[in-house]
Structure 1
Amino acid sequence: MVDVKSRTRLLEKRVAALAVSNDTIELATNICQDNGMRGSGLGNLLRKEWLNDILVSSSEDFRQASSDPDTQFLNWISVRSKNRYHVTFRKIEAARETYGASWTTRLYGFVWPQEIALAQRCRLADNPLLATLSALFLREAEGNPGEVFSTICELYINKFMETGSDHSSIRDMKVSDIRFLPEIPDELALFQQYAAARYDERLSGMSADKLQVLADLAAKDEIRDRNLLACRASVVIAREHPLRRMIPVISSADLHRLTPNELYQVEEVFLGKLDAGKIDVQVGSGSPYGPFIGFFSDEENRRDILGTLAFDVEVLDQQQWEIANLNYEWLNDLPTDYRKWRKHWHPLMEQWQTAVVEGDREIPMDPVSDFGFFLFKSGLA
């Protein structure tokens, strides 16, 4: 058997292999803040979580992480910071050992996200104490999700053992429905029990005015987070149905003398800003083509982006080859916007292909968008 001292030395060696620079820690903190996380020392805090996850992961995961710790950590933080209340595998396993697989599946898969969603809804509560308690709970759950999850598990199991059931009105609801409830349920949620035990004493001597200030901040956080949620939903829609392929967008881009490849690049920048919540959209607003047109209609935005354009020559060469080998079946998958030119598709497609292949037209990053420009500029309909 390997003794404790030897195991400790091996562990220290593995930890050292995952060392990251201070600049990486600072960049990680910035990524967290850009994704809406709040609090100090986020980079260091989440680095510990990353370390713990990697140290108990497979050998392949460890080899990949240790090959370039700075890059691997930042890749991980980019995903993790968008899932603020993520519970590590270790904490889930600990719950499974305590409560069993069935209970843990319910606790992690349903109860935990439901309590988070209800706390988010309650940040907009008219009652300033409830709004403040909700915000404090979420702040702690964001910074130390594993420990908060463990306590919520304990509260849930204790309640179930005492009453023989879970009478909460939210247990059969979708998380998205809970967060946008028109009215807050008139019951003591698990997160409220947790927050009351943790913060009641701290808040009990606070003046009504100070409590209202905190409640206003809680509401501001929720509104900001809802905007971020709407932004990311819009990004998903735009990735599935690229904005640059829409005729209204193409028409406006042509008005501002943007080429198809320039529009492609501008859309990538726009979606990056949208994903970070830096563009205003409304929840449920669908495709963000309106804000996108507004974005590239701004001369300063165009100037900043177009001054840094760069395209991979190998990618463009491959695109040229693929365009040369397209057949008429490709036309069947074009956006519905393009159907007004349908009777001219075949001859226009041949003209477009010839222009791209013979170098009379810039090789497009997105052939569909480029063909949309070609149709629009044809003067036919």
Structure 2
Amino acid sequence: MSEKEYIKGRGAQQNSHNKFLKHIYETRDDFLEFCRLEGEEADNNRTQYIPIFPKTIVNKVTSPDISMAFSMNPYQGCEHGCIYCYARNSHEYWGYSAGLDFERKILIKKDAPKLLEQKLKSKNWVANTIILSGNTDCYQPAEKEFKITRACLEVFYKYRHPVGIITKNALILRDLDILKKLAKHNLVGVNVSVTSLSEETRRILEPRTVSIKKRLETIKILSENNIPVNAMLAPIIPGINSHEILQLAKAVADNGALSFTFTVVRLNGAIGQIFTDWIHKTLPGKAEKVLHQIEACHGGNLNDSRFGIRSKGNGVVAEQIHSLVKIAKHKYFKNKTFPKLNNTLYEQHKNGQFTLF
């Protein structure tokens, strides 16, 4: 594979067509040749931060396959560039591609803390855990600059409202001070994604994420500070990381995780095309084998929208994964439980004063 064929530091290697748009954008060979002759860059591969101004920030989750009831996302798009990410398709609703645009055009919701506070002060709101990063990582690189997630955590603490966090970035440790205050009242739980113990696999699957070593250290530091951690060994991709399930479970357990969850990869919408293009460029020798094994988990398709099945898969390959997960939970998590978060303090802080009765 030549240097020109592969875009370094990105997961997707193309901009797939947005199904909501009439026109198709193509980078033609004659344009590339013109840029070469003129000494110009056809594509500078830089990340853009684009401010947007939504009217609300908390989303109700209605999918029966997802345990969270409410989520919020300070950012849309994600610079981590995980090639398998289910959130890629949501970028099309904003008029962008699920491919490179998802990683390079990051939408910034600077008003998120204010909108969150408005929601928590709402007369009809009843405490229910809100998950930061139900769609895209709240601790992706943009957070280092904008600090929106930190500001939201301060709002959650102000109202003593339970919050869950999903991330694969060690940047969460920057906010250890707030997390410890939340944890003191059992108001926070953290989900750390660990997809492989191989740095080479991590590098090609999730090009702008922190190292596996850093991720395991993050689990350890959070756990040592009494902040409960669930490890997300997801997605399991047959032929890429499916052989690591037992080792992954042991590693996260040894570092203090109280539980782990998993999903079997599914490639819905534009992700099927993006992933197929990617794997033929990064792992050409095993591309077809991996794709066929994924299809074997989803009734012969890369795309699977069946509730109750789509996130876990079925068939022989999926059953093998389920068996390994069962063994891992019995061997490494037998006497561990992830606590239910506290929703009893919120009403006392909702209006800035304690109730007497």
* Range class of TM-score, shorter chain: under 0.3
Instruction: Find the structure with the greater CA-based Rg.
Output: 1
Give the structure with the higher percent strand.
Answer: 2
Give the structure with the higher percent helix.
Answer: 1
